[in-house]
Structure 1
Amino acid sequence: MYYSKILIAFAGLLTANIAYSQSKNTAILTLPEAWRKAEQNSRQVEITRKANLIADEEIKDAIMERLPEVSLLGSIEKATNMPIYENGLFSSHTQEHEIIHTLYKAGADFYLNLYNGNKLNLKIEENKLLYQIAVIHNNEAISVIRYKTAALYLDLQKALVFRKLIIKDIADQEKQLLEIKALQKNGVVLKSDVLRVELDLSRRKMALVTIENDILIATQKLNIIMGEPDESVIIPTEFDSIDVPELPYEKYLADAMEHSFAYHISEKQTQVSKLHLSQVKANYQPKVGLYSDFSYANPQIFLFPYNPAWYSLGVAGIRVTMPLSQLYQNRHKVNSAKLELDKEETTHKDIEDKVRQQVKEAYLRYKESLVQIGVAEVDVAHAQENARIIKNTYFNQTSLITDLLDADVQVLQTRFELATARIVAQNKYYLLQNITGVL
């Protein structure tokens, strides 16, 4: 009896603290609101968003390479006189020509790529594919953080449902204890029956303490993932069962083939490998470009006789380069690119198999959880009817106190199992959506 009072006092203090915290900083939170906060706070989502921006800039950078290359140049040079060694380098010079000692030059260069084996267009296409991969990674990060948030949200919902169930059960047990005490005073039942009921009630109150701690732990985890203060109290919306149409496995599989993150990342990687092979093969192709050079210089040493005066010169033309060395240097690069493409195609098929397996498993587990809800509902009805019968027989002195306590425990346990089954069904549904890429 002493320990029972301690447990009651501790549970009351814990409930009072929670009530005080709720009055300070309480938020009624829906799951979509939790998703929004978690997405805003997630560092992984932020990383993938920045990766999107980087990939987009790389596309723009590749497109800018289509513009001509223009550069300015300028130089000032000092030159010595020109000695002539008619008798060899190891003898003194025999003559020394005076030259113009200071040379100036300023000009501009221009080059426009006309053809380079289509490498630039291939590079732009590759960067576009890499951008699409970055977008898929970002969507995947959002889906993952949503599923994690949903799992924590459902854990908190479950703990709150458990608390509601056990508080009601404790109230029922306390009422039943008063009835048994009245029978004990009249000599109908033994003192041991009262002690057994009080012991069982103490266990329930200890379970309530555990559930209260579960609520605090689940609340902190949810606050952390949303970026909220640890002490913020979250009140989820009332638990509601899943109301979704019964879709066949083939529909979920089709959704996965259309939206699955892993499947489409692998698909894009295969396309990147194809482009890489084309880029390597383009090394055999000639380079064609339009170029020009215009400059001012002093002195004039381009034509004889030289003249210590400023002059200008402009040159323009088409430059064609044929990389003959690539005929033997590029062979192994092409073979490597082909092997890389074969590897990516095999990887893509392997990922397709894994996606099918994951969708099948998640679908079956989800259907199983729905069946479990129906079973749990029947179990609750049976347990309640059994408890009603046992209670009547106990108070009519035709059954033992152990039968009564066992029946009460079964009622509480089946109610817990029903609540758990409903939460698990929600979790499995969100997991299935995450795998198919539509969460």
Structure 2
Amino acid sequence: MKTIYIAAISMMLMTSCDNELDQVPLVDLESNNLESFAGVLNAAYYYHTGAVTPQAVMGEFRADNLTFEFDDEPPYPDFHTFNSDLGGLAISEIFFRPFYRDLYKSILSANTVIDKSDSATEVAEAKFLRALSYSKLVMVFGDVPVILTPQPDVSVIPDVDLTRQPATEVYNNVIIPDLQSAIEGLDNSGVATGRASKIAAQGILGKVYMYRGDFAQAAIELEAVINEAEAAGVTLEADFANVVIDESSEILFSTKISGSIPNSSTGTAFVGWFQGKDTKADQDNVTLSLLEAFDASSAAGGGTDLRKALSLSTDPEKPRIGGKYSADQFDQDFIELRLSDVILMYAEALNENGAPAEEVLDLLDPIRTRAGLTALDDTVLSSQTDVRQAILDERRLELAFEGHRWFDLVRTGTADDAMGQTINSNYYVFPIPPSEVLASDGVITQNEGY
């Protein structure tokens, strides 16, 4: 529910020192005097609103779905220019700073709840949000600083070790244990109220294992989500047009956005980017590659892919995002995880684990039927390689403009093929905001190539 943040609005005044990691909700500075931590927990939810637009833009405009222009500067994919000129620095600060900053604000709020709340449910929710925050940070930046303790006194924050920790250790020591703890501490009542739930934590954990390349563990968690979904009130929407609406039965967890509550970051909302309402993303920003992918989907599988008309304008001269999102870009929630995403990941995990093509492709049938397509033929797509590509293609169209594409390409090692060029692996991750590197006096280091 969008009212999740109302209790947190009075907490949005921030106290800051030299580094964005120093910024915590004012109430955190006096947390020893608090008797209720519901407001601090709401703040941990709220801060994700500042990260969704950068995440969506990174996931789509960096990849082969959408194009990006920044005045006379190089196109968005040319990340090697980011720290070499003023335009590059501006892009880094516009997109990566709010993402980095607000996720750490969420982490600091979650730390306070985890350390001080007497409510097991609040602690479990806070662990879910902390894990979600760190999983996004690692996905985007690779190695990151880890802070797992509350910071009650602003004067001691500069003493926190801000050295970037290896991504593998962040996964193993923070993200996975936090999600496992959240699964143990949550039920599924949060699905209906827009809060963290057991099934959402299982789904995020399954996705984490997919990023880790641990397909056996991923399959276990993702299968559990699919098996428990109906009882939790989560079902595939019969109409693809309804999959992104706030009341969709398909959503496992989303970051709630409301036009009546200020976003934790400024600028064009993610829906506005996709609708061409930003000067850096005009109506002609949809790639020919994506248009052709929708057409190929219809040609290859039989039927007509209904997702094209709902995701894009039918005018080939000015393609843009159409009916898939709310007309009010400031009142559209950002989907963190929905059921079809889980089903496609589960199919991928089974394929990587050596399951027969027929078993894997059958999982795609409900998604394809809803899209107006026929089932894929396992006698034609019989090899593991063929099935792998079919699932990746399905993900591209099913989840278009939901912020997944670039991260899927990196995760599956297919970025070069999709982008039609050899991409230095340095650019699989994004630049740490230069302001953070400078403010930490070099303790926070920059990623290679930037």
- TM bracket (short chain): under 0.3
Larger Rg: 1
TM-score by length of 2: 0.21
Structure with more strand by fraction: 1
TM-score by length of 1: 0.21
Structure with more helix by fraction: 1
